[in-house]
């Protein structure tokens, strides 16, 4: 189940039949929406996206907002110390 506030909450699902004839339910492709940022932050070695999400949104599960603003499908791609990352406003 997709939890409320997830980056996938508004993504539809589809059903298909696998090679064994079983019905499989899967999420549709989620395209990263344009996410304007209001702040630029320099990532440090002791930070993680969930910690930044807690600092900026008071909710560590909103790390995906930061990933979307930086066009990162895998949030771990943003974790290089010294990298400038964009911090968008909270959408909820």
DSSP strand pairing (13-17 vs 84-87): unpaired
Asked if residue 66 lies in contact with residue 88, where contact means CB atoms within 8 angstroms, the answer is: yes
Query: Radius of gyration over alpha carbons of the chain, in Å?
Result: 16
Please state the domain extents for the chain: 13-87
Asked if residue 83 lies in contact with residue 66, where contact means CB atoms within 8 angstroms, the answer is: no
Asked if residue 2 lies in contact with residue 10, where contact means CB atoms within 8 angstroms, the answer is: no
What is the pLDDT tens value at each position of the chain, 92 positions in all?
Answer: 677 777 778 888 889 898 999 999 888 887 777 778 889 999 999 999 999 999 999 999 999 899 989 988 788 888 899 999 999 998 76
Q: How far apart are CA 23 and CA 17, in angstroms?
A: 5
């Amino acid at each position: 189940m997709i939890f409320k506030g997830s980056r996938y909450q508004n993504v539809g699902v589809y059903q298909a039949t696998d090679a064994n004839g079983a019905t499989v339910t899967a999420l549709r492709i989620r395209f990263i929406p344009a996410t304007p940022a209001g702040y630029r932050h320099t990532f440090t070695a002791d930070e993680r996206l969930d910690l930044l999400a807690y600092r900026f949104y008071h909710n560590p599960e909103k790390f995906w907002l930061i990933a979307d603003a930086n066009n990162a499908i895998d949030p771990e791609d943003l974790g290089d110390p010294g990298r400038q990352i964009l911090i968008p406003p909270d959408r909820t």
